[in-house]
């Protein structure tokens, strides 16, 4: 899978030394990387959001290197982000040195990973990160002593403020450069064999295993790929990521872990200087956050506040931007396009794309999606989401998902596309499929906008709320059903709780912006092309046959005017335009008086229309993301599934409200 | 952040060691010049002389567990075979019946053929098979309880010297609940104590048949090759090796200052210290004085624990002074014998390597029963001990070497209601969540009991400092509440643990072991449940300094035992 993301060997251009960042989830690697490289990496205060292999060119002390962010892992054999074991990521990254981030406030928990990295035989630099939080708990480190014990440089760092980051990075680059020079034959190797630290019996086992591995490796070269895959450790040695002893320590990882934990415990006691401090208030908050009371009321409040802010701020921004567009940009664009393009219908179609399409991007994307990303980023960085995940775990269990699925599902309310990428934090493919299905059923801000805009003026906010309740009920029922249908079982939750932190405004803004940029880059072309196609169908009158073809479904089953079918079909391309399209079509079909929904549809019909729109088919961008993330078949199954569900729910409701 | 441990006896040493191992900066202060308290081994001219306790019971695991932890496992020695002990009763030595448990026989035949008891006395004991249960509930004295069931002969000739001797307290005052709660439990379950003892022996035999034991049942007593002091030395050495643990001897506490829920310390000389937590592992009298101002109720309760005087006289003789037929490991003295000593151990016969070739080392113990003995001066006490030993055994001439160790008002008497007093004292300390009392006066006088208490106090402080547990409840560990009660009194699963209760992980089911190990949950880890999510949701478990959410289905596969920690005593 890694190869899809361009992280494979070929980009070792110029043979730059490679430094890989290793650390347990949530130790602040991405923030550290952002500080170290001066750019933003996908970070979140929720374990496991780093899912791509990020590579950055960095420079320190005049040396250049590639810095690779690896997914957070708890051991070399751990399987982060539902991928292969962590050592395979190392093999992909081919580092020359490891920069191991540990929590300065909890060495006993974090040092075993550093020891495992040290065992590989690669040079390591240890960054005792989160030093601000450690200090808050009265913990100070004797880094000199820790360096002696680890036989590796140790730096106290704070990714949030940048303290120590450059120094740690420079050290790692220095070691990586030296090793790269050895690798390229530019300088002679110096012995890097670490002194034995484990009990003699374990060291003997490691030695024996190493001997066996090194005996096997030369043979493997000629045996072929099949054997290599079966014994990936040999490959690891060949890649130069580990020496035979290092590979042996991976093979014996589970046995060594107990010894590592013991060492970590005794070393941490030796290097920690504890000071009496009043336990920080956030310790208490962390405890309260997962208690039923006040945890649940707090969760409800946070959720309501999030959506309240999104609606208020989003609506306000949408109005401003929409008006500004209509007043300034739209007339200019129209004038320019009609002047350049001589064929009126083509000009209009292009205007659909550049005027309507960009307007949609600006009046929906920026106000709602960007606002949501800012809020989500703040929530993620606050560390609150793991508390929410724990509170909601049982609820999500019923849907076949762990509590952490709350993160992408919440994101889905902003836009389905990033939410689908967010499902990478789930551990199994089954969880990802189930979550993706639920995401496509979750009304994104564009669909919510349709529901609100259609129902609130006509039937009042209560009915709009009812539509959301119905949608949620359908989604939950579908999720429960899908959990039963999709084979397998979701594993039980074991998750380290994130610490509560005050989000750093700069990071939140950077993160929200980076994600928004990604969203725009994915969605904008599809939106523009989609708008163009819609425009073309509109201008050429091609929509009429579609309307007729969909007639039985729209009229017969859903009890809606036939033109609603066209609105649905085009909604696939431009979800947020479904409503405008409907009104525009109605004007064409029924005459000018139909500028208002109420003149050609009853409240019941609008309700059904809103429900079907909010559940129905994912938009084109979502479909593209589904295919990219899960493959064609699941993507198609999910799409057809949600379409069937939308039509079924719409038909049933149509019968209940008596319009069909 | 420093934890202060007051008292350098075995309890305080253990507390400091456990805290030190947990990485907690600790200061151990001891008033005298040396560490070890009542444990003192003198090595002179090839003799290994125990001035305090000379051995301890192996069936309370805390002692051996510590010894192994310190790497002294190879130094553990057991009594030499054959193990023959006599009881001096009715002016004669009588062989201690083979297969005797603490009070009751585990083998019927040696007991029936023993000349320790008259046929009438044996018949009276047989009444135990018929007598109904004693319905009463509260604490009673051991003596009357046994007299009612088994008759006075057993109490005076066997139980009295044995239990009374061990606890240095007249058996008619000893608290049943504090000392031998298993007797009460036996009666409740089997009605007859004899039947219970035999059933227990049978069960043990079956266990032996399963290969869990082999050979004759080993003596319950063990010690270290270098004497009990070896344990103290190893602890002290381990503490010296911990840079974050400080030790001060000849450092007396002048007073404790109580400020809100905090306790500050003023040392003699005026130095002050505001420790994060304090463990008072001092003798009860000292503890009571220290607590007088801040917790007068606790001080009162502690002061009401009576203490008696004891003394140990070591005597050495040459082999040429001994009678030819001297046998056994020593003798106990029945209550009604006109002797000053209450027991004599032939140390060099019982333990290997205690005396040079051609000599005998005898350790005479003088309990509190003999009124007047403690008024004697040292030479008088030696003379009395020598007279008792030499006179009864038939040793000729004067001892080659004599040593006296006296412990005035040092032996706590676990009289009826003892546990309630201790519980009341601990409850009265509730306003000071980071203050613990521990030691022989409270929950067991033996070495393993003191070690267990020292460790329990340290563990609960460690947990408190890690924020893993609410600080309200005073120390009162569930397992220490009954010093002799069952060892693995039943582990429970993590999901059944009450919120705030600390526990030690015993085992993890294979399904989730790897996943949990990655989060630091392995056997031996101390955990505490911080909260439970609603709807049967995950538990949030404190593991070290981290918090880990664990689904209940996973938590139910984790077996834990209550760690000696405050809230674990929720039963009260």
ipTM of this complex prediction, to 2 decimal places: 0.78
The span from the CA of B560 to the CA of B502, in Å, is: 9
- Among B281-290, B415-424, B485-494, the range scoring the smallest mean pLDDT is B485-494
Chain A residue numbers touching B433 (CB-CB < 8 A): none
Helices (H), A65-106: 86-93
Chain A residue numbers touching B534 (CB-CB < 8 A): 292, 295-296, 391, 394
Note whether A134 and A105 are within 8 A (CB). Answer: yes
CA angle B302, B308, B312 (to 5 degrees): 130
Taking an 8 Å cut-off on Cβ atoms, the answer to whether B538 and A403 are in contact is yes
- Nearest Cα residue to B104 out of B47, B66, B159, B171: B159
Non-local (6+) Cβ contacts of A259 within 8 A are A198, A199, A202
Non-local (6+) Cβ contacts of B38 within 8 A are B9, B10, B52, B53, B407, B410
Chain B residue numbers touching A492 (CB-CB < 8 A): 512, 551, 553-554
In the A/B pair of chains, how many CB contacts fall below 8 A?
Answer: 124
The SS3 of residue A624 is helix
Residue B289 pLDDT class (50, 70, 90 cuts): very high
Taking an 8 Å cut-off on Cβ atoms, the answer to whether A286 and B547 are in contact is yes
The span from the CA of B230 to the CA of B224, in Å, is: 7
More confident residue, B392 or A219: B392
The span from the CA of B24 to the CA of B275, in Å, is: 12
pTM (2 d.p.) = 0.55
Greatest CA separation for chain B: 82
The span from the CA of B529 to the CA of B539, in Å, is: 7
Structure confidence by residue, pLDDT tens digits, B143-156: 888 888 888 888 88
Non-local (6+) Cβ contacts of B211 within 8 A are none
Structure confidence by residue, pLDDT tens digits, A157-202: 998 888 889 889 999 999 899 888 887 777 766 555 556 778 888 8
Can you tell me which residue has the tokens 């899978």? A1
B261 reaches A (C-beta below 8 A): no
Residue A618: how many other CB atoms lie within 10 Å: 26
Q: Specify whether the backbone of B479 is left (phi greater than 0), alpha (psi in -120 to 50) or beta.
A: alpha
Note whether B304 and B353 are within 8 A (CB). Answer: no
Q: Specify whether the backbone of B563 is left (phi greater than 0), alpha (psi in -120 to 50) or beta.
A: beta
Facing residue for B519 by CB, picked from A137, A276, A494: A494
Tokens of A193: 């064999």
- Among A34-48, A377-391, B54-68, B104-118, the range scoring the smallest mean pLDDT is A34-48
The span from the CA of A18 to the CA of A98, in Å, is: 9
Structure confidence by residue, pLDDT tens digits, A264-288: 988 888 888 887 777 788 888 888 8
Mean pLDDT of B304-311: 89
Residue A504: how many other CB atoms lie within 10 Å: 16
The span from the CA of A603 to the CA of A608, in Å, is: 9
The span from the CA of B187 to the CA of B192, in Å, is: 6
Structure confidence by residue, pLDDT tens digits, B185-207: 788 778 888 888 888 777 777 76
Chain A residue numbers touching B549 (CB-CB < 8 A): 290, 386, 389-390, 393, 403, 493-497
The SS3 of residue B296 is helix
The span from the CA of B428 to the CA of B517, in Å, is: 40
B242 reaches A (C-beta below 8 A): yes
Give the minimum alpha-carbon distance from A47 to chain B in angstroms, rounded to a whole number.
12
B216 reaches A (C-beta below 8 A): no
Quote the pLDDT of residue B406.
92
Structure confidence by residue, pLDDT tens digits, A626-652: 887 788 888 888 888 888 888 898 899
Facing residue for B546 by CB, picked from A109, A290, A394: A109
DSSP tag of A194: P
Facing residue for A269 by CB, picked from B1, B244, B543: B244
* Shortest CA distance from A286: residue in chain B: B547
Note whether B235 and B70 are within 8 A (CB). Answer: yes
B513 reaches A (C-beta below 8 A): no
CA distances, A38 to each of A60, A654, B50 (Å): 12, 56, 70
pLDDT over threshold 50, residue A465 = yes
Structure confidence by residue, pLDDT tens digits, A294-314: 888 988 888 778 777 877 887
Residue A97 pLDDT class (50, 70, 90 cuts): very high
Instruction: Report residue B338: phi and psi, to 5°.
Output: -85, 55
pLDDT over threshold 60, residue B328 = yes
Structure confidence by residue, pLDDT tens digits, A304-349: 787 778 778 877 888 888 888 888 888 888 888 888 888 888 888 8
Tokens of B475: 């120390």
Give the minimum alpha-carbon distance from B343 to chain A in angstroms, rounded to a whole number.
45
**Percentage helix, strand, coil, to 5, in chain A?**
70, 5, 25
The span from the CA of A449 to the CA of A580, in Å, is: 11
The per-residue pLDDT of chain A, averaged, comes to: 79
Tokens of B541: 């478990």
Mean pLDDT of B370-382: 82
The per-residue pLDDT of chain B, averaged, comes to: 83
Taking an 8 Å cut-off on Cβ atoms, the answer to whether A109 and B531 are in contact is no
Chain A residue numbers touching B508 (CB-CB < 8 A): none
The span from the CA of B538 to the CA of A491, in Å, is: 13
pLDDT over threshold 70, residue A367 = yes
Taking an 8 Å cut-off on Cβ atoms, the answer to whether A269 and B546 are in contact is no
pLDDT over threshold 80, residue A52 = no
Helices A505-540 and A371-382: angle between axes, nearest 10 degrees: 150
DSSP tag of B34: S
Non-local (6+) Cβ contacts of B557 within 8 A are B493, B508, B509, B511, B512
The span from the CA of A381 to the CA of B229, in Å, is: 56
More confident residue, B483 or A488: A488
- Among A148-157, A308-317, A575-584, B301-310, the range scoring the smallest mean pLDDT is A575-584
Chain A residue numbers touching B512 (CB-CB < 8 A): 492, 494
- Nearest Cα residue to A2 out of A68, A63, A76, A46: A68
pLDDT over threshold 70, residue A81 = no
More confident residue, B95 or A584: B95
The span from the CA of A453 to the CA of B309, in Å, is: 91
* Shortest CA distance from B515: residue in chain A: A494
């Amino acid at each position: 899978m890694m190869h899809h993301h361009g992280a494979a060997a070929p980009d070792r251009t110029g043979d730059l030394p490679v430094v890989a960042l290793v650390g347990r989830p949530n130790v602040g690697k991405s923030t550290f990387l952002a500080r170290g490289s001066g750019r933003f990496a996908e970070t979140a205060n929720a374990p496991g959001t780093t899912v791509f292999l990020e590579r950055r060119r960095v420079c320190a002390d005049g040396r250049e290197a590639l810095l690779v962010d690896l997914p957070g892992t708890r051991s070399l054999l751990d399987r982060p982000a539902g991928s292969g074991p962590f050592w395979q990521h190392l093999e992909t990254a081919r580092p020359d040195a490891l920069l191991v981030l540990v929590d300065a406030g909890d060495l006993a928990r974090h040092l075993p990973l550093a020891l495992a990295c040290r065992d590989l035989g690669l040079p390591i630099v240890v960054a005792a990160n989160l030093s601000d939080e450690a200090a808050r708990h009265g913990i100070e480190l004797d880094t000199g002593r820790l360096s002696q014990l680890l036989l590796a440089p140790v730096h106290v760092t704070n990714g949030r403020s940048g303290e120590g980051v450059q120094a740690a990075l420079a050290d790692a680059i220095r070691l990586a450069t030296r090793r790269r020079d050895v690798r390229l034959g530019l300088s002679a190797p110096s012995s890097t064999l670490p002194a034995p630290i484990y009990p003699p019996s374990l060291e003997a086992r490691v030695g024996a295993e190493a001997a066996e591995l090194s005996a096997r490796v030369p043979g493997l070269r000629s045996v072929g790929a099949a054997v290599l895959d079966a014994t990936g450790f040999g490959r690891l040695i060949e890649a130069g990521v580990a020496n035979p002893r290092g590979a042996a320590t991976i093979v014996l990882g589970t046995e060594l872990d107990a010894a590592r934990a013991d060492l970590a415990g005794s070393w941490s006691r030796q290097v920690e200087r504890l000071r009496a401090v009043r336990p920080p208030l956030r310790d208490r908050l962390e405890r309260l956050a997962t208690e039923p009371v006040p945890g649940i009321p707090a969760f409800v409040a946070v959720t309501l506040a999030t959506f309240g802010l999104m609606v208020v701020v989003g609506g306000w921004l949408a109005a401003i931007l929409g008006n500004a567009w209509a007043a300034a940009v739209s007339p200019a664009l129209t004038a320019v396009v009609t002047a350049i393009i001589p064929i009126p219908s083509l000009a209009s179609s292009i205007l659909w794309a550049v005027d309507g399409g960009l307007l949609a991007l600006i009046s929906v994307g920026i106000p709602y999606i960007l606002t949501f990303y800012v809020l989500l980023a703040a929530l993620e960085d606050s560390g609150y989401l793991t508390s929410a995940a724990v509170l909601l775990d049982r609820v999500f269990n019923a849907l076949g998902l762990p509590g952490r699925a709350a993160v992408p599902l919440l994101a889905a309310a902003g836009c389905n596309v990033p939410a689908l990428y967010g499902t990478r934090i789930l551990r199994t493919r089954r969880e990802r499929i189930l979550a993706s299905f639920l995401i496509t059923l979750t009304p994104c801000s564009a669909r919510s906008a349709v529901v609100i805009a259609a129902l609130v003026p006509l039937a009042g906010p209560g009915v709009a709320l009812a539509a959301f309740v119905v949608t949620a009920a359908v989604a939950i029922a579908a999720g429960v059903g899908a959990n039963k249908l999709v084979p397998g079982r979701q594993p039980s939750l074991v998750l380290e709780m994130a610490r509560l932190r005050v989000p750093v405004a700069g990071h939140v803004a950077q993160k929200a912006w980076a994600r928004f940029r990604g969203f725009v880059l994915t969605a904008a072309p599809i939106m523009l092309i989609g708008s163009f196609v819609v425009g073309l169908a509109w201008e050429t009158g091609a929509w009429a046959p579609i309307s007729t073809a969909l007639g039985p479904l729209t009229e017969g089953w859903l009890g809606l005017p036939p033109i609603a079918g066209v609105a649905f079909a085009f909604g696939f391309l431009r979800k947020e335009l479904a409503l405008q399209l409907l009104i525009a079509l109605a004007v064409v079909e029924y005459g000018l008086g139909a500028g208002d929904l109420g003149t050609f549809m009853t409240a019941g019909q609008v309700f059904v229309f809103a429900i079907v729109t909010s559940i129905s088919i994912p938009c084109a961008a979502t479909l593209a993301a589904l295919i990219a993330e899960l493959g064609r078949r699941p993507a198609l199954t999910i799409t057809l599934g949600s379409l069937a569900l939308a039509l079924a729910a719409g038909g049933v409701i149509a019968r209940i409200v008596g319009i069909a | 952040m420093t934890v202060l441990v007051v008292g350098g006896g075995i309890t305080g040493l253990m507390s400091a060691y456990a805290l030190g191992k947990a990485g907690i900066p600790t200061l151990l202060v001891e008033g005298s010049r040396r560490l070890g308290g009542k444990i003192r081994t003198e090595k002179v001219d090839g003799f290994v002389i125990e001035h305090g306790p000379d051995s301890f019971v192996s069936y309370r695991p805390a002692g051996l567990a510590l010894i192994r932890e310190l790497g002294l496992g190879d130094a553990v020695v057991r009594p030499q075979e054959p193990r023959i002990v006599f009881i001096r009763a009715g002016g004669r030595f009588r062989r201690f019946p083979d297969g005797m448990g603490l009070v009751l026989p585990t083998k019927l035949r040696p007991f029936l053929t023993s000349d320790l008891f008259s046929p009438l006395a044996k018949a009276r004991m047989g009444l135990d098979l018929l007598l109904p249960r004693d319905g009463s509930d509260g604490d009673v004295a051991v003596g009357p309880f046994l007299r009612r069931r088994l008759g006075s002969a057993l109490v005076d000739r066997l139980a009295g010297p044995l239990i009374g001797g061990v606890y240095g307290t007249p058996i008619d005052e000893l608290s049943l609940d504090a000392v031998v709660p298993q007797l009460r439990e036996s009666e409740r379950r089997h009605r007859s104590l004899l039947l219970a003892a035999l059933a227990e022996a049978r069960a043990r035999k079956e266990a032996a048949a399963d290969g869990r034991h082999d050979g004759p049942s080993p003596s319950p007593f063990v010690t270290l090759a270098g004497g009990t002091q070896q344990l103290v030395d190893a602890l002290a050495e381990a503490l010296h090796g911990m840079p974050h643990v400080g030790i001060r001897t000849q450092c007396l506490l002048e007073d404790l200052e109580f400020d809100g829920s905090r306790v500050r310390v003023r040392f003699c000389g005026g130095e002050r210290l505001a420790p994060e937590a304090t463990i008072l592992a001092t003798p009860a009298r000292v503890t009571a004085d220290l607590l007088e101002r801040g917790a007068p109720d606790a001080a009162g309760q502690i002061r009401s624990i009576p203490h008696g005087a004891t003394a140990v006289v070591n005597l050495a003789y040459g082999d040429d002074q001994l009678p030819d037929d001297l046998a056994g490991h020593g003798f106990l003295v029945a209550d009604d014998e006109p002797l000053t000593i209450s027991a004599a151990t032939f140390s060099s016969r019982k333990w290997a390597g205690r005396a040079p070739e051609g000599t005998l080392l005898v350790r005479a113990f003088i309990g509190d029963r003999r009124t007047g003995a403690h008024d004697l001066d040292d030479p008088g006490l030696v003379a009395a001990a020598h007279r008792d030993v030499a006179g009864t055994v038939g040793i000729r001439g004067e001892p080659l070497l004599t040593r006296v160790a006296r412990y005035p008002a040092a032996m706590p008497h676990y009289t009826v209601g003892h546990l309630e007093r201790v519980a009341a004292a601990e409850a009265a300390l509730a306003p000071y969540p980071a203050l613990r009392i521990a030691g022989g006066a409270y929950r067991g006088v033996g070495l393993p009991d003191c070690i267990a208490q020292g460790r329990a106090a340290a563990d609960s402080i460690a947990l408190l400092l890690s924020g893993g547990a609410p600080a309200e409840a005073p120390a009162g560990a569930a397992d220490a509440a009954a010093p002799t009660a069952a060892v693995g009194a039943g582990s429970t699963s993590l999901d059944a643990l009450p919120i705030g209760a600390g526990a030690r992980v015993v085992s993890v089911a294979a399904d989730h072991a790897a996943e949990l190990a990655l989060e630091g949950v392995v056997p031996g880890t101390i955990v505490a449940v911080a909260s439970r999510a609603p709807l049967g949701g995950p538990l949030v478990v404190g593991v070290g300094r981290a918090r880990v959410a664990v689904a209940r289905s996973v938590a139910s596969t984790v077996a834990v035992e209550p760690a000696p920690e405050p809230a674990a005593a929720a039963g009260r």
